[in-house]
Amino acid sequence: IIAKDGATLCFIEVKTRHNLKKGLPAEAVTLSKQRKIIQAALFYCQKKKLDNPLMRFDVVEVLKEDDTLSVNLIKHAFQAK
């Protein structure tokens, strides 16, 4: 998801789990996945001709267990190095 929070361009990865056997949803956003998201963000900015925009990388965790649904937004989940 690409969104704006004021003047900040937010690149948001959404991860869902149906249980916690494999850990929290955010744990699925590995370093490799982070690099791909950052590359995609830079490509997006280049294509849109955005010069040094404020950027933020967030993760939304969705946990659906039985009839319970919880959503957690993690702002600044990782940074471009």
- Residue 67's Cβ-side half-sphere holds a number of Cα atoms within 13 Å equal to 0
Q: Is 52 left (phi over 0), alpha (psi -120 to 50) or beta?
A: left
pLDDT tens profile 18-30: 999 999 999 999 9
Under the banding of pLDDT at 50, 70 and 90, the label for residue 81 is confident
> Mean pLDDT, to the nearest integer, of 76-80?
96
pLDDT tens profile 32-73: 999 999 999 999 999 999 998 999 999 999 999 889 999 999
Alpha-carbon distance 36 to 43, whole Å? 10
pTM to 2 decimal places = 0.91
